[in-house]
Structure 1
Amino acid sequence: MIKPIHQYQIAISSIHEKQQERFFGTKIIFVIKGAATIWMDAQQLDLQTDDLLVVNRGVDHTISGSKDSQVIVLKIVGNFFLSKYPQYFQFNFECFSREIDFGKEKAIEELRRYLAEMVIAELSNHENFKLEIESNLYQVMLLLTRFFKKPIVNQIENEVPDERILKVIQEIEANYYEPLTLNEMAQKVYFSPSYLSRYFKKGTGVGFVQFVNQVRLRHSIEDLIYSDMEINQVALQNGFSSGKNFSHCFKEYYHVTPTDYRLKNQVTRKNDDNLEDQESSPLELTEVLLLLANYCDNFEQSSHATSNSVANLSIDVERESAAKELPYASYIVFIGELKELLKKHVQQQVKQAKTDFRITYIGVKNLLSENTILTTIETDEIVPSYSPYDSADLVLDFIYQENLSLFVYLSYHEMEENQGDYLLKLKAFIAHAIQRYGREFVNRWRFMYYHKEWDNTVAKHHEMYYLNVVALLKGMVPSVKIGTFLPFSDKTETIPASQQWQITKQHEIDFIAFHANQNEGIDFEQTNEVIFNTAQNYLIKKTSSFKKFLASHHMKQPITLIDWNTLTGETRFTNGTFFRGALIMQAIFDLSYEVEGLGFWINTESHEKNQHSQSINIEGMELFHFFNGKRPVYHALAFKERLKGTLIGQGVNYLLTENCDGYQLVLINCNPFNPRLSVEDFFIQRRRKEYYVQIKGLKEGIYQVKRLKFDREHGALYSKYGEFNSQYGVDHEMMDYILRNSEPVLSVGDEEIASQWSFYEYLDFNAIHFIELKKVSKE
Structure 2
Amino acid sequence: MENDRKLMQFYFLTSPEKSTHYHQNLEILYVLKGEMEIQIDDALYILKNGDFIVVNANKSHAITVTREMFGARFEIDFHLLAEYMGTMQLMFWCNTAADKNDAYQDMRVLLDRILERYFEKEDKGSLHLQSLYFETLHLLTSNFMVKADDVRVNLENSQDRVRVRQIQNYIQANYQGQISLNDLAEKLYLSNAYLSKYVKKHLGLTFLEYLNNVRLFHAVDELIYTNKNITRIALDNGFPTSAAFTKAFRDIHGESPSEYRKKIQNVNQEPEPTPEQEEKNRQRIQEYLKLRENRQEPVVKHFQGCEADAAAYESRDMLWNKAVNVGEAYCILQSAVQNQLREIQRETGMVYARIWNLLTRENCFDEREGYNFRKLDLVLDFLVDIQMKPYIELGYKPELFLYTPERCLRQEEREDGIYPYDTFCEIIRTLCMHLVNRYGADEVESWYFEFWNDPQLQMTGEDGEYYRYFEVIYRTFKQILPEVRVGGAGLILGYETPVARDIFKIWKQRACRPDFISFCSFQYIALVESGMRYGRKSIDGHYMKNQVAILREMMEEVDFQVPEIHIDEWNFTVSNRNILNDSCEQGAYIMKTCMEMEGCVDFMAYWHGLDIYSEYYDSGSILNGDSGMISRDGIKKPSFYAFQFLGRLQQYVMAKDENCMVTTNGRGRYVIASHNYKKLSSRYVFTEEDEIQIGDLEQFLEDMEPLELRFSLKNMKNGNYLVKIYYVNQDNGNAQELWRKLEFAKGLAKDEIEYLKKRAVPTMEMKTVEVTDGVLELESVLLAQEIRLLDIQYQYRM
Structure 1-normalised TM-score? 0.53
Match of residue 323 from structure 1: 313
* Pair 1:688 & 2:685 matched: no
1:332–1:125 Cα change, 3 Å: same
Contact residue 487 and residue 496 of structure 1 kept, 8 A: no
Match of residue 359 from structure 2: 368
> What's the CA shift string for 1:320-356, capped at 9, x where partnerless?
9963334423623332222111111211222222212
Which of 682, 686, 695 aligns to 1:679? It is 695
Deviates more, 1:763-772 or 1:432-441: 432-441
Match of residue 354 from structure 1: 345
1:599–1:610 Cα change, 3 Å: farther
* SS at structure 1 position matched to 2:633: helix
1:334–1:610 Cα change, 3 Å: farther
Which of 698, 715, 729 aligns to 1:711? It is 729
Structure 1 residue 571 displacement after superposition? 4.5
Whole-Å separation in 1 of the counterparts to 2:766 and 2:616: 42
Whole-Å separation in 2 of the counterparts to 1:642 and 1:389: 37
* SS at structure 2 position matched to 1:627: coil
> What's the CA shift string for 1:182-231, capped at 9, x where partnerless?
xxxxxxxxxxxxxxxxxxxxxxxxxxxxxxxxxxxxxxxxxxxxxxxxxx
Contact residue 486 and residue 499 of structure 1 kept, 8 A: no
* SS at structure 2 position matched to 1:420: helix
User: Which residue identity lines up with residue 328 of structure 1 in the other structure?
Assistant: M
Structure 1 residue 555 displacement after superposition? 0.9
Match of residue 465 from structure 1: 469
Match of residue 643 from structure 1: 649
User: Which residue identity lines up with residue 342 of structure 1 in the other structure?
Assistant: L
Structure 2 residue runs without a partner (length 5+): 9-85, 87-123, 125-130, 140-298, 398-415, 528-535, 685-691
Whole-Å separation in 1 of the counterparts to 2:473 and 2:673: 45
* Pair 1:776 & 2:795 matched: yes
Whole-Å separation in 2 of the counterparts to 1:706 and 1:478: 46
Whole-Å separation in 2 of the counterparts to 1:563 and 1:619: 17
Which of 410, 413, 438 aligns to 2:394? It is 410
Match of residue 591 from structure 1: 597
Deviates more, 1:589-598 or 1:687-696: 687-696
Match of residue 479 from structure 2: 475
* Pair 1:450 & 2:482 matched: no
Whole-Å separation in 2 of the counterparts to 1:686 and 1:462: 46
Whole-Å separation in 2 of the counterparts to 1:655 and 1:729: 41
Whole-Å separation in 2 of the counterparts to 1:349 and 1:557: 33
1:251-650 matches, cutoff 5 A:
311-317=302-308, 323-329=313-319, 331-373=322-364, 388-411=372-395, 416-452=418-454, 456=458, 458-460=461-463, 461-485=465-489, 487=491, 490=494, 494-495=499-500, 497=502, 500-505=505-510, 507-520=512-525, 535-552=540-557, 553-566=559-572, 571-577=577-583, 579-601=585-607, 603-608=609-614, 622-650=628-656
Structure 1 residue 736 displacement after superposition? 0.9
Match of residue 751 from structure 2: 733
Q: Which has the larger radius of gyration?
A: 1
1:599–1:314 Cα change, 3 Å: closer
* SS at structure 2 position matched to 1:626: coil
1:535–1:425 Cα change, 3 Å: same
Structure 1 residue 483 displacement after superposition? 0.9
* Pair 1:663 & 2:670 matched: yes
Match of residue 210 from structure 1: none
Contact residue 462 and residue 499 of structure 1 kept, 8 A: no
User: Which residue identity lines up with residue 669 of structure 2 in the other structure?
Assistant: G
Whole-Å separation in 2 of the counterparts to 1:728 and 1:567: 25
* SS at structure 2 position matched to 1:579: helix
Whole-Å separation in 1 of the counterparts to 2:618 and 2:426: 28
Whole-Å separation in 1 of the counterparts to 2:391 and 2:595: 22
1:475–1:611 Cα change, 3 Å: farther
Structure 1 residue 503 displacement after superposition? 1.9
Whole-Å separation in 2 of the counterparts to 1:627 and 1:354: 18
> What's the CA shift string for 1:74-102, capped at 9, x where partnerless?
xxxxxxxxx9xxxxxxxxxxxxxxxxxxx
Deviates more, 1:406-415 or 1:389-398: 406-415
Structure 1 residue 707 displacement after superposition? 0.4
Structure 1 residue 743 displacement after superposition? 1.2
* SS at structure 2 position matched to 1:546: helix
* SS at structure 1 position matched to 2:591: helix
1:423–1:746 Cα change, 3 Å: same
Match of residue 764 from structure 1: 783
Whole-Å separation in 1 of the counterparts to 2:698 and 2:452: 45
Contact residue 308 and residue 712 of structure 2 kept, 8 A: yes
* SS at structure 2 position matched to 1:508: coil
Structure 1 residue 310 displacement after superposition? 10
* SS at structure 2 position matched to 1:560: strand
User: Which residue identity lines up with residue 420 of structure 2 in the other structure?
Assistant: N
1:580–1:658 Cα change, 3 Å: same
> What's the CA shift string for 1:733-760, capped at 9, x where partnerless?
1111111111111111212123455555
Contact residue 361 and residue 405 of structure 1 kept, 8 A: yes
Contact residue 629 and residue 739 of structure 1 kept, 8 A: yes
Structure 1 residue 687 displacement after superposition? 1.6
Whole-Å separation in 2 of the counterparts to 1:494 and 1:387: 37
1:743-754 matches, cutoff 5 A:
743-754=761-772
Whole-Å separation in 2 of the counterparts to 1:622 and 1:645: 27
Whole-Å separation in 2 of the counterparts to 1:681 and 1:374: 47
Whole-Å separation in 1 of the counterparts to 2:760 and 2:709: 28
Structure 2-normalised TM-score? 0.52
Structure 1 residue 124 displacement after superposition? 12
1:601–1:487 Cα change, 3 Å: closer
> What's the CA shift string for 1:348-404, capped at 9, x where partnerless?
2222222123333222211111343265997xxxxxxx9832222222221232333
* SS at structure 1 position matched to 2:766: strand
User: Which residue identity lines up with residue 581 of structure 1 in the other structure?
Assistant: G
1:678–1:326 Cα change, 3 Å: farther
Structure 1 residue 471 displacement after superposition? 2.5
Contact residue 447 and residue 483 of structure 1 kept, 8 A: yes
Contact residue 667 and residue 769 of structure 1 kept, 8 A: yes
* SS at structure 1 position matched to 2:731: coil
* SS at structure 2 position matched to 1:478: coil
User: Which residue identity lines up with residue 767 of structure 1 in the other structure?
Assistant: E
Structure 1 residue runs without a partner (length 5+): 6-66, 68-82, 84-117, 127-307, 379-385, 523-530
Whole-Å separation in 2 of the counterparts to 1:546 and 1:406: 27
1:336–1:763 Cα change, 3 Å: same
> What's the CA shift string for 1:144-164, capped at 9, x where partnerless?
xxxxxxxxxxxxxxxxxxxxx
> What's the CA shift string for 1:462-509, capped at 9, x where partnerless?
222222222222234333221121536658664275664312127532
1:744–1:507 Cα change, 3 Å: same
Whole-Å separation in 1 of the counterparts to 2:442 and 2:521: 33
Structure 1 residue 518 displacement after superposition? 2.0
**C-alpha RMSD of matched pairs (Å):** 4.4
Structure 1 residue 535 displacement after superposition? 0.5
1:93-108 matches, cutoff 5 A:
none
User: Which residue identity lines up with residue 719 of structure 1 in the other structure?
Assistant: E
Contact residue 579 and residue 716 of structure 1 kept, 8 A: no
Whole-Å separation in 2 of the counterparts to 1:692 and 1:359: 29
